[in-house]
Amino acid sequence: MVHPFFGATKELDKIIEMYKFMYPSSTGRDDDPKLNPEVDVNLKSMVGDRVLVCAVEKDLIRDRGLAYYDVLLKSEWNGNVEFYETLGEGHCFHLFNPNSENVGPLNDIIVNFIYQD
């Protein structure tokens, strides 16, 4: 997951409003498993045995990606989870600034993760 969105704090009320527009049945709060994997009762049966969570230092929702990583580590899910953080960059920097010197290292991490045995 590259720069995942799992809801946010009050600072991001506009994003939550947009989310509720896209998913009208959602409360837009932490009781929604799509916004807070910690409350997902089916997390332990998640398909796949590896997850890579990539975050960036200058992202308002960085902590939610880190929280997802922590939730997977502590869960009953039997897979392996890795966390990679790019310092000095913002959300989706690799799309908005593809010439950034940090795009190459991020791509390398993703490619190496995909081709692990």
Can you give the pTM of this predicted structure? 0.80
Domains of the chain, residue spans: 10-114
Query: Over the stretch 18-68, which tens digit does the pLDDT of each residue have?
Result: 777 878 888 777 788 877 788 888 989 999 999 999 999 998 888 888 988
Query: Over the stretch 75-100, which tens digit does the pLDDT of each residue have?
Result: 999 999 999 999 999 989 899 999 99
Residue 79's closest CA among 114, 42, 58, 48? 48
